[in-house]
Homo-oligomer: A and B are copies of this chain.
């Protein structure tokens, strides 16, 4: 059912596909690295499994392979970047780099992005800040799949937030999570296994809690982190909303239910309120607050203390955000990336279409 591929093989293939759709060599290389960082980190739903989705969006004319990505407005600590309809996989690193350059001079940099597309995993972009002894943040809005508390309509995407914080001898703290109870990729796994979803993940088209993982196909919705009002779903709804507003209202992208869908078979929402999808990035120099070494030593103390907190029975240790993904990356760089049968088939079809080896 699963086949394992060396990372380098998948990377070369993915780069070649992006070249075939007309990206520059530099962009093709970068887009492959960003996309595959999801596979390396074990977030399989956001990696090479989505390559065919990007291709179909390009075929539908919704992705510009040769974008003129540029700053359209700026102040000492802020900028708005227009992605010119390019791959989010290349627009996002451009914008995050702008945030980092702003932070070098102003202490922090904050960049809102319009007219972009899906950007892979938020964590990749946030982690760009680490090598500069900066805290990195990345978020994006996304296809509307989530119903606010009390609503039946899908108004928000899974709108992830990533925060990367450097430490000294400890690996960095890297949080990267959807603002829903469960990401859509987890539902897809249950669909394939024909298993029920826990209550609190989804509701049906009438807003009634459901355990049927296929509910989204018949008008249902994902639920904000918290699941229901009694368990704080209004807080998940707040978080998803803040991501939407920072990413799209600040920049001039489409927000809420106007966010363009990732799938090419759904039409773009009529009467757009902006351009494309939106992202938001932040970089904060830690020495804009206190000496970097002092900060990073305290992060070591923080991480050590939390990692060694007393655990409940059945759990060996408390995880630090980023631990599981870092361990997965080390494993997959060594042993290769396992892909499910349908993904391998998809990639084979892409190879045929573009007459390249897979």
Contact = CB atoms under 8 A, between A and B. Distances in A.
A241 B305 CA distance: 12
Contacts of A226: 181, 225-226, 231-232
Contact of A232 (B182, B252, B317, B319): B182
Contact of A284 (B110, B273, B318): B110
A302 B256 contact: yes
Contacts of A227: 227, 231
A153 interface: yes
Contacts of A311: 150-152, 207
Contacts of A285: 75, 78
A225 B179 CA distance: 11
Contacts of A257: 305
A89 interface: no
B76 A112 contact: no
A273 B245 contact: no
A175 B319 contact: no
11 contacts: A73-B289, A108-B110, A149-B318, A150-B317, A151-B312, A163-B242, A165-B242, A165-B245, A234-B321, A237-B321, A245-B299
Interface residues of A, number: 86
A244 B315 CA distance: 24
A256 B315 CA distance: 20
A107 to B, nearest CB: 3
Interface in A48-75: 73, 75
Interface in A127-176: 147-153, 155, 163, 165, 173, 175
A18 interface: no
Interface of A: 73, 75-78, 80, 105-108, 110, 112, 147-153, 155, 163, 165, 173, 175, 177-182, 198, 200-201, 203, 206-208, 225-227, 230-232, 234-239, 241-242, 244-245, 249-252, 255-257, 273-274, 284-286, 288-290, 294-295, 298-299, 301-302, 305-306, 309-313, 315, 317-319, 321
Given A151-B310, A153-B309, A288-B78, A230 B198 contact: yes
A143 to B, nearest CB: 16
Nearest to A114: B290
A176 B26 CA distance: 43
Contacts of A200: 231
Given A148-B306, A151-B312, A256-B302, A242 B77 contact: no
Contacts of A286: 250
A225 B313 CA distance: 21
B289 A321 contact: no
B73 A321 contact: no
A252 to B, nearest CB: 6
B312 A255 contact: no
B78 A76 contact: no
A173 B243 CA distance: 13
